[in-house]
Amino acid sequence: MIKWKGTVWTVHPLFVLIMLASVATGYFTELLTLFALVFVHELGHVAVAKGFGWTVREVKLLPFGGVAEVEDGSGVPAKEEALVAIAGPLQNVWMAAAAWGLGQTGLWSEEWSQYVISANAIIALFNLLPILPLDGGKLMNALLSRTTTFHRTLRIGARVSLALSGAMVVFAIMPWLHGGQSGIQPNLLIVGLFLLMTNWTYNRHIPFLFLRFLTSRGLTASRHLTRGAWALPIIVSKAHTIAAALRLFKRDSYHLIVVMEESGQILAVLPEQRLVNGYLEDGKPDRAVLELFM
């Protein structure tokens, strides 16, 4: 564990196991290079995140990238999350280009240059898969949150990630299932199982993640009020529960809750802070929205 500029850097046990295996098989130089590529990949994420003022508490390095623990959580804009996510694969692009240049000038052998180019390509493309917590999964969530509610974004992201990580596990054992001579693909199986378990936990924690999103709405509201912004109305009936109304919130929007009769008569209009605070203070999500006025 190393702490550098306020961020704790750790190596995930999965990476340690692969490193020990590489020593036994004589591929330590290749793995050390992979470690360096992954480290620079994560530096790209951290540099852009801190450029936006995020607090990055910890980065865990994995064989295919890393997992960053960010203090700001769901309170950051989707655009910032997308830029932070894409910053990692962009590091692999310039490193692959540099490896090609070193190979062309003869400073590196053609074989080693091709290895580094291939390793960067694999890391970048794998991380762009739409599976959480990979960069592609974060890009997927950022895009979804621009088009649908945040609660639905969490659910769709979890389901897609579970399906694709499960498919990765099946693909890894497919040769064995068909009785092929190549057998199981151990590296792909280990990574697939890791992603499957991670997303299984993520799916179970959706209520907590949504609650964290709600607790950050005060910061979001202040940001909108400071610079001025359009308010996106949410129209609900007087029988709507607070929980149902909260699930209609979008990530980068400020909301006004309009309680309306079926006839079209407006009974009340309240800012989103009133709804969020009403829920957080008494923790009764099944209360009707209209009760907040009584």
pLDDT in tens, 102-134: 999 989 998 999 999 999 999 999 999 999 989
Task: Indicate the domain borders of the chain.
Answer: 1-128, 150-215, 217-293
pLDDT of residue 262: 79
Q: What is the rounded CA–CA span in Å between residue 33 and residue 115?
A: 10
Buried b (16+ CB within 10 A) or exposed e, 207-245: eebbbebbebbeebbeebeeeeeeeeebebeeebbbeeb
Output 97 or 75, whichever has higher pLDDT.
97
pLDDT of residue 155: 96
Q: What is the percent of the chain where pLDDT is above 90? A: 36
Res 89 pLDDT > 90:
yes
Res 202 pLDDT > 80:
yes
pLDDT of residue 83: 95
Return all residues near 167 (Cβ < 8 A) that are at least 6 apart: none
- Which residues are part of the catalytic machinery? 42
Output 235 or 61, whichever has higher pLDDT.
235
pLDDT of residue 203: 95
Mean pLDDT to the nearest integer, 201-218: 90
Question: What is the fold of 217-293?
Answer: CBS-domain (3.10.580)
pLDDT in tens, 160-185: 999 999 999 998 888 766 665 566 77
Q: What is the rounded CA–CA span in Å between residue 188 and residue 11?
A: 19
